[in-house]
């Protein structure tokens, strides 16, 4: 009897499989031409960071109707080189990786396969490496952060007007990951956005020493709240800070996607990078046999920097309209996020700064980035390099 059941099950399995096999074979015929791309992701769809990339990749490839393959859970080591080479072996014409630590291994693979295009998001070395087939990409997320900061500043103003807090108590808390330029650029632009609305705003920043550590982020947010911060934002990727805010009833500006489902009362808005426009641009260029620049910087105009819907329940009245106005002013160039008139470093307004744009182990400043009255972020390479400690922001710990 048992044997019978087994054999029946096996037959059913085979039949289902054969049907499935035929269906997938038909679907493959739809693919346009023989252009194929591969993607390398640090984690899988359970990580908000990688999910954001996976969604962008899927969207762009479906739209262009090309064949693609995604490798998930690829660590930032030799595994990344192996994965990139395997994708090249499998006939991919362009290969994209999503995590900072993948960069050096992508460069190794790019040297080995000169006819395949290698693109790396968040990396810093393409403009100095001198390889035609290796490119970096980022987006002007500091503009998105600035807009989210505007929404935060309006919330602070509302709280001051309500009498919930005094002007001096308008202190923001920020949970950062590392003292890395991308993080510094992120919290500074957020703070400048908030202070453009609420001039008395100050900020405290704590670092977790990890890009994703739910417990540490939750503890960090709680520490900031206990320290008197009345509004929280974060760089790190987990739900730690948002849920701590919801529990304490403190308004929160989140990152990488909406957290409204878990935090309906405290979530104000979130900014994120949409990678689909970049993927579409790069793949289309490669398909037409054109090359792209070493660095690509997406912006508000390209649709690469986006804000989620603003939560009316937590945001101040009129936030939606005002954020739109500021967005238009940023797009037209009427205002610049890092306008040197808007911030000071050790009490001085800056007129010159040599930033570490070309990566080297000595962290040497090599490029003048201040001109025309503002700090030119993400113009000399795509990844952020704003690493100044401006007045008004207190770093609670800088161990990482």
Residues that bind another protein (CB under 8 A): 6, 9-10, 12-14, 16-18, 20-21, 44-46, 69-73, 75-78, 82, 85-86, 89, 100-101, 103-105, 107-108, 124, 178-181, 183-184, 209, 356, 359-361, 363, 387, 399-400
What's the closest the beta carbon of residue 290 comes to another protein, in angstroms?
28
Tell me, what DSSP letter sits at residue 209? S
What's the closest the beta carbon of residue 249 comes to another protein, in angstroms?
33
Tokens of 288: 């037409």
Residue closer to another protein by CB (options 153, 384) is 384
End-to-end CA distance of the chain: 64
What's the closest the beta carbon of residue 210 comes to another protein, in angstroms?
8
Among the listed residues 219, 269, 214, 216, the one whose alpha carbon sits nearest the alpha carbon of residue 248: 219
Residue closer to another protein by CB (options 102, 376) is 102
Among the listed residues 157, 333, 284, the one whose alpha carbon sits nearest the alpha carbon of residue 230: 157
Residue closer to another protein by CB (options 130, 289) is 130
What's the closest the beta carbon of residue 256 comes to another protein, in angstroms?
18
DSSP code per residue over 62-112:
HHHT-EEEEE-S--SSHHHHHHHHHHHHTT-SEEEE-SGGGHHHHHHHHHH
Residue closer to another protein by CB (options 114, 199) is 114
The contacts of residue 125 (CB under 8 Å, 6+ apart) are 103, 104, 107, 136, 359
What's the closest the beta carbon of residue 295 comes to another protein, in angstroms?
15
Residue closer to another protein by CB (options 242, 384) is 384
What's the closest the beta carbon of residue 380 comes to another protein, in angstroms?
14
User: Do residues 135 and 293 make contact, with C-beta atoms less than 8 angstroms apart?
Assistant: yes
User: Do residues 197 and 153 make contact, with C-beta atoms less than 8 angstroms apart?
Assistant: yes
**Phi and psi at residue 263, in whole multiples of 5°?**
-130, 65
- 53 membership: H or E segment, kind and range: helix 48-64
Residue closer to another protein by CB (options 210, 284) is 210
């Amino acid at each position: 009897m048992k044997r019978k059941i087994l054999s029946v099950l096996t037959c059913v399995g085979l039949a289902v499989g054969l049907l499935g096999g035929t269906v997938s074979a038909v679907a493959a015929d739809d693919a346009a031409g023989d252009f194929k791309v591969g993607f390398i992701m640090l984690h899988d769809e359970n990580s908000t960071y990688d999910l954001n990339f996976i969604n962008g990749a899927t969207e762009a490839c479906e739209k262009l109707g090309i064949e693609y393959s995604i490798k998930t859970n690829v660590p930032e080591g030799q595994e990344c080189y192996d994965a990139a080479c395997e994708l090249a072996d499998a006939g991919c014409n362009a290969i994209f990786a999503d995590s900072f630590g993948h960069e050096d291994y992508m460069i190794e693979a790019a040297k080995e396969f000169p006819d395949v295009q290698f693109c790396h998001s968040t990396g810093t070395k393409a403009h100095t490496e001198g390889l035609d087939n290796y490119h970096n990409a980022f987006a002007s997320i500091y503009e998105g952060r600035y807009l989210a900061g505007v929404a935060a500043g309006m919330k602070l103003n509302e709280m001051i007007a309500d009498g919930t807090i005094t002007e001096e108590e308008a202190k923001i808390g920020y949970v950062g990951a590392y003292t890395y330029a991308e993080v510094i650029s992120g919290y500074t632009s957020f703070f400048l956005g908030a202070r453009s609305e609420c001039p008395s705003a100050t900020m405290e920043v704590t670092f977790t020493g990890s890009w994703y550590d739910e417990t540490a982020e939750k503890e960090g947010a709680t520490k900031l709240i206990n320290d008197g911060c009345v509004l929280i934002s974060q760089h790190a990727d987990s739900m730690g800070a948002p849920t701590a805010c919801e529990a304490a009833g403190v308004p929160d500006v989140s990152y990488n996607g909406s957290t409204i489902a878990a935090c309906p009362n405290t979530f104000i808005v979130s900014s994120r990078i949409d990678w689909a426009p970049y993927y579409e641009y790069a793949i289309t260029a490669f398909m037409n046999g054109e090359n792209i620049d070493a660095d690509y910087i997406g912006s508000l105009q390209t649709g690469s920097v986006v804000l989620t819907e603003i939560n009316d329940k937590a945001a101040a009245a009129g936030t939606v309209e005002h954020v739109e106005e500021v967005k238009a002013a940023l797009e037209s160039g009427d205002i610049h996020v890092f306008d040197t008139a808007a911030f000071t470093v050790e009490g001085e307004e800056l007129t010159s700064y040599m930033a570490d744009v070309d990566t080297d182990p000595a962290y040497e400043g090599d490029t003048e980035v201040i001109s025309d009255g503002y700090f030119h972020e993400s113009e000399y390479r795509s990844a952020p390099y704003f690493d100044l400690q401006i007045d008004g922001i207190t770093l609670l710990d800088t161990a990482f």
